[in-house]
C-alpha cells in the first residue's frame, strides 16, 4: 500500500509540474495574465502544442481515477479535453484560446477539488477514462495529421509563391 500511495503522490507532483509548465509558467508583466509553453509551442510548431497537451491530459485522467474522482467529474475533464481539442487546433486563434482556457489547469483543479483517496474506482470510471484517453489521443493525432496534410499538399505551392523555392 505504501508503494501505491507513493506512486500516486509522485504522479500528483509530476502533474503539478506539468500543468504549471504548460499553462502557467510565464506572466505578462504588469498583468495577472499567465501562460505556459502550450500556446508558445502551438504558435511556433502548429499541432505539436496540442499533442503535448493531449499527452498531459492522459496523465491527468490517470491521476483522477487513482485519486477517486467521481465519474461526473471525469466526464467534465473529458469535456475540457474536447473543448481544447476543437478550439485549440485552430491556427493562431487556437493559441490565444489556449492562453485563456487552460484545459490542463482546469482538470487539475477538478482533481484537487474532488479527490477522495479512500474511494475505489469502478469499472464505469475506467470506461469514462478510456473514452477520455481516446479523445486525448485524438487531440494528439488530429493536429499532427492536419499539419502534415497541409504541409505536404500546400507547402510546396506556398514556398513557390513566396519565392523561397
Task: Find out whether 61 and 104 touch, Cβ atoms under 8 Å.
Answer: no
pLDDT band at 117 (very low <50, low <70, confident <90, very high): low
Beta strand extents in the chain (DSSP E only): 26-27, 34-35
**pLDDT attached to residue 20:** 93
**pLDDT attached to residue 152:** 85
In this structure, the number of other CB atoms found within 10 A of the CB of residue 147 comes to 19
Q: Is the pLDDT of residue 25 over 90?
A: yes
Interval 43-94: pLDDT, tens? 888 777 677 777 788 888 888 888 888 888 888 898 898 888 888 878 888 8
Interval 82-109: pLDDT, tens? 888 888 878 888 889 989 999 999 999 9
Amino acid at each position: 500500500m505504501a508503494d501505491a500511495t507513493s506512486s500516486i503522490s509522485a504522479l500528483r507532483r509530476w502533474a503539478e509540474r506539468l500543468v504549471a509548465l504548460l499553462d502557467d509558467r510565464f506572466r505578462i508583466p504588469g498583468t495577472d495574465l499567465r501562460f505556459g509553453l502550450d500556446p508558445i509551442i502551438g504558435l511556433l510548431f502548429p499541432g505539436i502544442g496540442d499533442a503535448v497537451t493531449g499527452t498531459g491530459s492522459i496523465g491527468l485522467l490517470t491521476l483522477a481515477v487513482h485519486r477517486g474522482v467521481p465519474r461526473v467529474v471525469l466526464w467534465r475533464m473529458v469535456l475540457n479535453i474536447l473543448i481544447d481539442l476543437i478550439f485549440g487546433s485552430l491556427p493562431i486563434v487556437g493559441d490565444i484560446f489556449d492562453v485563456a482556457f487552460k484545459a490542463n489547469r482546469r482538470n487539475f483543479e477538478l482533481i484537487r477539488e474532488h479527490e477522495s483517496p479512500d474511494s475505489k474506482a469502478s469499472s464505469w470510471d475506467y470506461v469514462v477514462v478510456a473514452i477520455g484517453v481516446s479523445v486525448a489521443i485524438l487531440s494528439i493525432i488530429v493536429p499532427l495529421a492536419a499539419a502534415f496534410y497541409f504541409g505536404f499538399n500546400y507547402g510546396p505551392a506556398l514556398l513557390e509563391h513566396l519565392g523561397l523555392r
